[in-house]
C-alpha cells in the first residue's frame, strides 16, 4: 500500500478498476455507518443520554481512535479480510471481481437498512469477497477455509457471549444504588467505548479491502507486508461517520425501541456487556460483527429484564443474519460473473 495519499491517488487515477473498487468501498463504509455504527450509540440516544447529532460526533471520534490504536497493535483483522480468498486471473480481472464483491455488499446492506434490520456488513463483506473469488477462479479451492473458520468462530462466540454478558450485566446493575440520571450519564462513556471497538473491528475490515484493492491492481496479493497509513484510517472513520449521520436513526429505532424497551440502567448494562465482549474478541484477534455482538447484548439485557424482548422483531433480525452468508456470497458470485462476461 502506498504510504502517501498522493501516491495512492495517482495509482487510482491510472487504474479504472481500482477507481471503481475504491468508490464502492467508500460506499460500503457509508452504508456501514447507516447500519452498523448506530448500534454503538443506540442506547445513549434512545434513553436521552446524548442527542443524536452529538452521539454521531462521539461515534466518529471514537471510531477513528479505535482504528488508529488497535490497527497499530493488533492488525490480525486486517490480515483475515485481506487473505479471505485468493484472487487470480491477472490484475484486470481480479480488480473487476473485487468491484463486484463491493457492489454485492452495497446492495445487501442498503436493502437491510431500508427494512431497518441491523445486518452485518462484516459477514456480507466476507461472503461477497468469497463469492466473487469463486466466480473468478471457477472453483471453491480459492477460498481460505482456515480464515473462514476464524470468522465463523467469531460469529458463534460473539453472539453467545453477548447474550450471556447482557443477562449478567442487567442482573448485576439491578442492585446498584444509582439514580436514572447517573445511569444516563454512565451511558456516554459506554457509547464512546462501543464506538471505539466498532472502529477497531469494522474499520480494520475495510482497511483490508483497500489494501487488497491496491495489491490486486499491482498484480500482487501474496507475500505482502501489510502497513496501514494514517490517512487511510482517517478516511475509513470519516466515511463511517457520514453514514451514521445520514441514516442511523432507522437502525436505532429497531434495536433500541422496537426489539427491547431500554431505560437508562438497561442501556448502560447493554453498553457494558457489548464493550466487554468486543474487548475480548479484539485482544484474541477474532474478526466479529459489532452488530451481532451489540444486538445480542441488548437482547440479553431485554430477556433478563421484566419487560422482555419483542420476539417478532428478534425473528426478523435472525432471518437476516442467517441469510447474509449464502445471500451475499451468491450476489457476489453473480455480479462477478456478469462483470467478467461483459468487461473481462
Q: Is the predicted pLDDT of residue 133 greater than 90, yes or no? A: yes
pLDDT given for residue 44 in this prediction: 80
Chain position carrying cell 473462514: 148
pLDDT given for residue 310 in this prediction: 60
Give the model confidence (pLDDT) of 265-320 as tens digits.
888 898 899 999 999 998 888 888 887 888 888 888 887 766 655 666 667 667 77
* Residue 309 bridge partners (DSSP): 260
Residue of 2, 57, 77 lying closest to 228 (CA atoms) = 2
Contact 40, 194 (CB under 8 A): yes
**CB-count burial class (<10 Å; 0-12, 13-18, 19+) for 14:** exposed
What is the CB neighbour count within 10 angstroms for residue 240? 30
Specify the higher pLDDT residue, 19 or 32.
Answer: 19
Confidence tier at 247 by pLDDT (50, 70, 90)? low
Among 22-36, 52-66, 80-94, 304-318, the least confident range? 304-318
Element (H, E) at 25: helix 16-35
Gap between the Cα atoms of 290 and 171, Å rounded: 23
Gap between the Cα atoms of 67 and 205, Å rounded: 10
Give the model confidence (pLDDT) of 205-230 as tens digits.
888 898 888 888 887 766 555 678 88
Among 73-77, 239-243, 314-318, the least confident range? 314-318
Residue extents of the structural domains in the chain? 5-337
Q: Is the predicted pLDDT of residue 140 greater than 80, yes or no? A: yes
Q: Is the predicted pLDDT of residue 29 greater than 90, yes or no? A: no
Span 332-341, average pLDDT: 94
Q: Phi, psi (5° rounding) for residue 117?
A: -105, 125
Contact 41, 50 (CB under 8 A): yes
Give the model confidence (pLDDT) of 83-129 as tens digits.
899 998 788 899 899 999 999 988 887 787 677 666 777 888 999 99
Chain position carrying cell 446492495: 107
Percent of the chain at pLDDT > 70 equals 86
Gap between the Cα atoms of 116 and 280, Å rounded: 28
Span 323-332, average pLDDT: 92
* C-alpha angle 226-202-54 in degrees, rounded to nearest 5: 130
pLDDT given for residue 328 in this prediction: 93
Gap between the Cα atoms of 96 and 109, Å rounded: 20
Contact 198, 288 (CB under 8 A): no
Residue 224: C-alpha distances to residues 83, 124, 239 (Å) = 10, 24, 26
pLDDT given for residue 313 in this prediction: 63
Mean model confidence pLDDT for the chain: 83
Gap between the Cα atoms of 280 and 266, Å rounded: 21
Q: Is the predicted pLDDT of residue 233 greater than 70, yes or no? A: yes
Q: Is the predicted pLDDT of residue 156 greater than 60, yes or no? A: yes
Amino acid at each position: 500500500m502506498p504510504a502517501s495519499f498522493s501516491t495512492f491517488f495517482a495509482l487510482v487515477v491510472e487504474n479504472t478498476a481500482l477507481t471503481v473498487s475504491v468508490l464502492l468501498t467508500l460506499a460500503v463504509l457509508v452504508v456501514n455507518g447507516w447500519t452498523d455504527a448506530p448500534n454503538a450509540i443506540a442506547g445513549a440516544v434512545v434513553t436521552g443520554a446524548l442527542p443524536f447529532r452529538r452521539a454521531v460526533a462521539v461515534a466518529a471520534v471514537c471510531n477513528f481512535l479505535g482504528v488508529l490504536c488497535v490497527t497499530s497493535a493488533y492488525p490480525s483483522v486486517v490480515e483475515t479480510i485481506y487473505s479471505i480468498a485468493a484472487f487470480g486471473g491477472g490484475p484486470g480481472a481480479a480488480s473487476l471481481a473485487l468491484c463486484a464483491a463491493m457492489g454485492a455488499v452495497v446492495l445487501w446492506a442498503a436493502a437491510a437498512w431500508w427494512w431497518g434490520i441491523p445486518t452485518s456488513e462484516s459477514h456480507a463483506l466476507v461472503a461477497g469477497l468469497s463469492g466473487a473469488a469463486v466466480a473468478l477462479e471457477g472453483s471453491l479451492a480459492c477460498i481460505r477455509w482456515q480464515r473462514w473458520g476464524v470468522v465463523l468462530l467469531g460469529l458463534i462466540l460473539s453472539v453467545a457471549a453477548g447474550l450471556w454478558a447482557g443477562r449478567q450485566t442487567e442482573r448485576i446493575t439491578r442492585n446498584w444504588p444509582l439514580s436514572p440520571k447517573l445511569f444516563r450519564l454512565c451511558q456516554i462513556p459506554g457509547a464512546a467505548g462501543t464506538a471505539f471497538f466498532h472502529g477497531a473491528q469494522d474499520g480494520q475490515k475495510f482497511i483490508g479491502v483497500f489494501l487488497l484493492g491496491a495489491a490486486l491492481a499491482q498484480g500482487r496479493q501474496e507475500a505482502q507486508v501489510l502497513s496501514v497509513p494514517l490517512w487511510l484510517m482517517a478516511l475509513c472513520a470519516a466515511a463511517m461517520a457520514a453514514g451514521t449521520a445520514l441514516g442511523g436513526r432507522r437502525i436505532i429505532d429497531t434495536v433500541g425501541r422496537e426489539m427491547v424497551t431500554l431505560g437508562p440502567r438497561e442501556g448502560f448494562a447493554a453498553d457494558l456487556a457489548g464493550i466487554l465482549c468486543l474487548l475480548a474478541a479484539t485482544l484474541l484477534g477474532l474478526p466479529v460483527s459489532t452488530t451481532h455482538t451489540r444486538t445480542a447484548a441488548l437482547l440479553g439485557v431485554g430477556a433478563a429484564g421484566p419487560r422482555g424482548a419483542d420476539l417478532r422483531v428478534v425473528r426478523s433480525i435472525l432471518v437476516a443474519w442467517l441469510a447474509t452468508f449464502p445471500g451475499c456470497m451468491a450476489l457476489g458470485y453473480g455480479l462477478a460473473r456478469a462483470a467478467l462476461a461483459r468487461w473481462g
